[in-house]
Amino acid sequence: MNRTTALKQAAAKQGKPTNFVIFNQTNLTYFTNFAAATALYIPEQGDSTLYVSTVNYEQAKAEAKGVNVELLKRGENLMEKIALQAPGKLGVDSLPIESWRALAKAMGGEEKLEPINGLVRELRSVKDYGEIKFIQEACRIAGIGMQTAKEIIGVGLKEKDAAAEIEYAMRKAGSDGVAFDTIVASGPTSAFPHGSNLERTICDGDFVVVDLGATYKFYRSDCTRTFIASKATEKQARIYDAVKLAHQKAFEKIKPKVSAYDVDEAARRVIEQAGFGEFFVHNLGHGVGLEVHEAPILSPDSKDVLATGNVVTNEPGIYVPGFGGVRIEDTLLVTKNGAENLTIGPCMP
Ligand SMILES: [Mn+2]
């Protein structure tokens, strides 16, 4: 089904307006396959209008799919243009508060606006065939990045140089760019989930957390492996094994209709039983698609329920301050009967 039609159906079900204006950059990409527009007006019936400033106008005409492209001239009031098209109430995805007020004023009152970002969030969380193909390609490229990491990580290498080699390898393999800045966190820095010292040189006995992702046709991947420079100590092995088992237990739990909370719980229980519960300081996972963090969320307080076509990460971790950290992360597709690991191949440790 067409994505705007799906949005209208979802809105109608909840008694919300069935005409919309989309401002969020990622949502604009989702509906038009074009990333540099200003706004999209989706009427109840007929073609949508994509408003684009002069700098991106020609590109929008060449690349935007299934919409009328309209030039937004200098000095024109976008909110008034939208209000002229919108009868009655209008669904709006998201706006900074000042712009929200300007749109409300143009529409004749705040009661004319209805937030619909939740509907778009839900739609985007279930991927169609084309989206899955792009994510699979982003995952394949991430695998090449991780293979490179596996080959080069060792004593004497600077974190920054490792990141450069990994990102170069992914670019050469077809990445449109990184999904996020590559993390290479060694030794004590590996105890920070998003740590990356960059100037640090990897030392003997370090845990080295490598977290990377590629982008392919706007879609992303997310993958983490933890290496050990030289031989693991007994404590390091205990931490690593606990994370690995948690990762395995969570994977086994994933299938449609399962609460995202329960998947998080399956991993968290393993880590707690191993005595490291207080050091698992983040959620188990998150959706991946046009953004590297999107719905559904796999966390202790998540209200999301998994569905076929969700793409989620499974990334338990243990971070012992001053000692080091371990995280293992895959990007998974929720299938009819369970989950398919998209970050396989050279990515596996
Ligand atoms: Mn992640």
pLDDT tens-digit readout, 268-291:
999 999 999 999 999 999 999 999
CA 86–ligand 1 middle distance (angstroms)? 39
Identify whether the C-beta of residue 297 lies closer than 8 Å to the C-beta of residue 287.
yes
CA 222–ligand 1 middle distance (angstroms)? 5
Nearest to 223 by CA among 309, 161, 138: 138
Those residues whose C-beta lies under 8 Å from the C-beta of residue 167, and which sit 6 or more positions away, are 145, 178, 182, 212
CA 25–ligand 1 middle distance (angstroms)? 21
CA 108–ligand 1 middle distance (angstroms)? 42
Structure tokens at 338: 């369970």
CA 10–ligand 1 middle distance (angstroms)? 28
- Output helix, strand, coil percentages for the chain, rounded to the nearest 5: 40, 25, 35
In the chain, residues under CATH classification 3.40.350.10 are 3-125
Mean pLDDT of 139-148: 96
One of 3.90.230.10, 3.30.70.2740, 3.40.50.360, 2.60.40.420 is the CATH number of 129-347, namely 3.90.230.10
How high is the pLDDT of residue 345? 59
CA 72–ligand 1 middle distance (angstroms)? 37
Confidence of residue 111 (pLDDT cuts 50, 70, 90): very high
Cα 63 to chain center, whole Å? 23
Largest CA distance in the chain: 69
CA 211–ligand 1 middle distance (angstroms)? 8
CA 298–ligand 1 middle distance (angstroms)? 11
Percent of the chain exceeding pLDDT 90 equals 93
CA 290–ligand 1 middle distance (angstroms)? 14
Query: pLDDT, tens digit, for every residue of 45-63?
Result: 999 999 999 999 999 999 9
How high is the pLDDT of residue 87? 81
Mean pLDDT of 129-142: 97
CA 172–ligand 1 middle distance (angstroms)? 23
Mean pLDDT of 34-42: 96
Q: Which 8-state DSSP code applies to residue 182? A: P
CA 329–ligand 1 middle distance (angstroms)? 7
Cβ neighbour number for residue 87 with a 10 Å cutoff: 11
CA 322–ligand 1 middle distance (angstroms)? 23
Nearest to 306 by CA among 261, 243, 250, 266: 261
pLDDT at 172 over 80: yes
In the chain, residues under CATH classification 3.90.230.10 are 129-347
Cβ neighbour number for residue 192 with a 10 Å cutoff: 16
- Sheet with strand 207-212: strands edge to edge: 183-186, 207-212, 223-228
Looking only at the bridges linking them, the beta strands covering 311-314 and 223-228 are: unpaired
In whole angstroms, give the CA distance from residue 341 to residue 316: 15
How high is the pLDDT of residue 198? 79
CA 315–ligand 1 middle distance (angstroms)? 7
pTM value surpassing 0.85:
yes
Query: pLDDT, tens digit, for every residue of 294-337?
Result: 999 999 999 999 999 999 999 999 999 999 999 999 999 999 99
pLDDT at 216 over 80: yes
Average pLDDT, the chain: 95
CA 312–ligand 1 middle distance (angstroms)? 9
CA 64–ligand 1 middle distance (angstroms)? 29
pLDDT at 124 over 90: yes
How high is the pLDDT of residue 197? 76
- DSSP string spanning 79-97? HHHHHHH--S-EEE----H
Mean pLDDT of 231-240: 95
CA 21–ligand 1 middle distance (angstroms)? 30
- Architecture of the domain defined by 3-125: 3-Layer(aba) Sandwich (3.40)
How high is the pLDDT of residue 346? 56
CA 67–ligand 1 middle distance (angstroms)? 33
How high is the pLDDT of residue 348? 52
In whole angstroms, give the CA distance from residue 167 to residue 103: 42
How high is the pLDDT of residue 28? 97
> 113 by DSSP, 3-state: which?
strand
How high is the pLDDT of residue 170? 98
CA 195–ligand 1 middle distance (angstroms)? 13
CA 199–ligand 1 middle distance (angstroms)? 23
CA 286–ligand 1 middle distance (angstroms)? 7
